Amino acid sequence: MSTTLADGTRPALTSLTEEERMFQEAVRDFALAEVAPRVSAMDEAQQMDPDLIGQLFELGLMGIEVPDQFGGADSSFFTSVLVVEELSRVDPAVGVLVDVQNTLVINALLRWANDEQKAQWFPKLASDTVGAYALSEAGSGSDAFALACRAEKDGDDYILNGHKLWITNGNEAGLFLVFATVDPDAGYRGITAFLVPKDTPGFSVGKKEDKLGIRASSTTEILFENCRIPGSAVMGEVGKGYKIAIETLNEGRIGIGAQMVGLAQGALDHSIKYVKEREQFGRPIGDFQGVQFQIAEMATQIEAARLLVYNAARLKDAGEDFLAQAAQAKLFSSQIAQRVASMAIDLFGGYGFTREYPVEKLYRDAKIGTIYEGTTNMQLQTIAKLLLR
C-alpha cells in the first residue's frame, strides 16, 4: 500500500492516506456489525466464535502481509496495525487473534521461511489456518531464552519434548511456530525455530487458562511427547531461533500497542455516549466541567499513544531502526489503556462495575497489555539500554 500522496509528497509519519483511511473505516464497520454482537457471549463462554474466525479469513484480515501470489492481501505492516486497533476497539480478544497471526507468525515467515515453507504455509495462513507463536515456558517468561523444550536430532528428523505455556490462539491454531533448544549447553545459541502442524503425532494442546481478561482468546499450554518433525520444519538456520524470536517480538510489540490503543478508544467511545445520556441534577453529566476534563484527558492520552504506535509501525515499514520506538509504544499504550479503562469505570459509576455495560470488560482486558510480549519493566530496560549505550 503506497504512502505517497497525489502531489508526489510523503504524508507525515503518522498520518493516513486516503486508501488507508477507507480501509480503516471498512474494518470498523465490520467490527461494529459482526464482532460487537458477539462480544458478551464469547467472553462469557471463553471461546472465539468459529463463524467470526471464518469471516476474518474471508475479509483477508488473517493474511494481511501474505503476498498475493499465495492468496494474501499483500499489504503493509502498518495495515496490520490499523486492523488490530479497529478490532480491539470493539473486542481486544479478537484483536489479539489477528495480531498474533499477522505481526508474529506471518511476519516471522516473511523474513525467515524458505521458499518451500512459504509455498506450503502462506496459502493456508491466508485462507483457513490460524497460527500461534510458542516461545514461553514455565521457567522462561521475561527470561525468554531459558528454554527447557528440547529438540534432539534423529537422522534427518528432530524429536521434540517439553511443554509451552500461555500460548495465544492455542485452541484455534493449525500451525505453531515453536522455539526449542537443540543444545542446552550452547545457551541462546542452541535455540532453533520449528514450524509444527497441530496434527503432528506427539503434539497436543493442554490446559486452557481461565483468565481475567481477553477471555474469548484461547491461552493454552502445548505439549510435545516424542514429537517427530522433519528437518525441513526448521525455519531459518539451526541455532538462529533467538534472533528470529527477538526480532519478531520487537515487531509484535507494536501490534500489542495497537491493541491497547484500540481498547482505550473503545472505552472512550462508550464513555462519551454515556455522559451525553446519563442525567444527574437535571442535566447530562457531560455538561459538568469535571467530566469534560476527564474526557479531554482520556482523548489526549489515547492520541499520544496512537502516534507512538503509528510512528513505530511506519519506521518498521520504511526499514528504519524502530526498537526503541516499539518499546515506547508498547509501554505507553499499555499504561494508557489501563488508565483510560479505569476512568471509564469512574464515569459510569455503579453501572460501570457491572457486566451489563461494556467498560467492565475493557477494564479487565486492559491488564494484559503490561504483561505479554514483554512486561513494563522489560520495556523500560530496553529503552534505557538504548539511550545509555
pLDDT digits (tens, 9 = 90+) for 225-250: 999 999 999 999 999 999 999 999 99
Tell me the helices (H) and strands (E) count for the chain, helix number first: 12, 10
Q: Do 220 and 303 share a domain, yes or no? A: no
Q: How confident is the model at residue 14 (pLDDT cuts 50, 70, 90)?
A: low
Q: Do 154 and 252 share a domain, yes or no? A: no
User: Looking at the predicted structure, is the pLDDT value of residue 10 above 60?
Assistant: no
Instruction: Give exposure, 78-107, as e/b (b: 16+ Cβ within 10 Å).
Output: bbbbbbbbbbbbbbbbbbbbbbbbbbbbbb
Of 63, 95, 130, the domain-final residue = 130
What single DSSP character describes residue 147?
Answer: -
pLDDT digit string, tens, across residues 314-338: 999 999 999 999 999 999 999 999 9
What's the pLDDT at 144?
67
Q: Do 123 and 201 share a domain, yes or no? A: no
> Which residue is listed with cell 524470536?
245
Q: Do 222 and 152 share a domain, yes or no? A: yes
> Which residue is listed with cell 510480549?
373
pLDDT greater at residue 3 or residue 192 = 192
Does the residue 267 lie in any domain? yes
Of 179, 206, 237, the domain-final residue = 237
CATH number of the domain bearing residue 191? 2.40.110.10
What's the pLDDT at 15?
77
Q: Do 36 and 74 share a domain, yes or no? A: yes
- Across the chain, mean pLDDT equals 95
CATH number of the domain bearing residue 102? 1.10.540.10
Q: Do 253 and 166 share a domain, yes or no? A: no
User: Looking at the predicted structure, is the pLDDT value of residue 39 above 90?
Assistant: yes
Confidence (pTM): 0.95
Does the residue 6 lie in any domain? no
User: Looking at the predicted structure, is the pLDDT value of residue 13 above 70?
Assistant: no
What's the pLDDT at 97?
98
Q: Do 301 and 349 share a domain, yes or no? A: yes
Does the residue 63 lie in any domain? yes
Instruction: Establish whether 373 is a catalytic residue.
Output: yes
pLDDT digit string, tens, across residues 159-196: 999 999 999 999 999 999 999 999 999 989 999 999 99
**Domain limits for position 180:** 133-237
Q: Which helix (H) or strand (E) holds 205?
A: strand 203-208
Name the β-bridge partners of 173. 130
Which percentage of the chain shows pLDDT scores above 90?
A: 93
Q: Do 262 and 380 share a domain, yes or no? A: yes
Q: Do 221 and 266 share a domain, yes or no? A: no
CATH number of the domain bearing residue 292? 1.20.140.10
Does the residue 9 lie in any domain? no
pLDDT digit string, tens, across residues 82-140: 999 999 999 999 999 999 999 999 999 999 999 999 999 999 999 999 999 999 999 88
Rounded to 5°, angle at Cα 104 from 103 and 109: 105
Q: Do 147 and 187 share a domain, yes or no? A: yes
Q: Do 265 and 372 share a domain, yes or no? A: yes
Q: Dihedral (C-alpha) 2, 235, 99, 52: value to the nearest 10 degrees?
A: 110
Of 130, 148, 182, the domain-final residue = 130
Does the residue 188 lie in any domain? yes
What's the pLDDT at 141?
73
Q: How confident is the model at residue 146 (pLDDT cuts 50, 70, 90)?
A: confident
Q: How confident is the model at residue 351 (pLDDT cuts 50, 70, 90)?
A: very high
User: Looking at the predicted structure, is the pLDDT value of residue 11 above 70?
Assistant: no
What's the pLDDT at 295?
98
Q: Do 247 and 383 share a domain, yes or no? A: yes
Count of structural domains within the chain: 3
What's the pLDDT at 3?
42
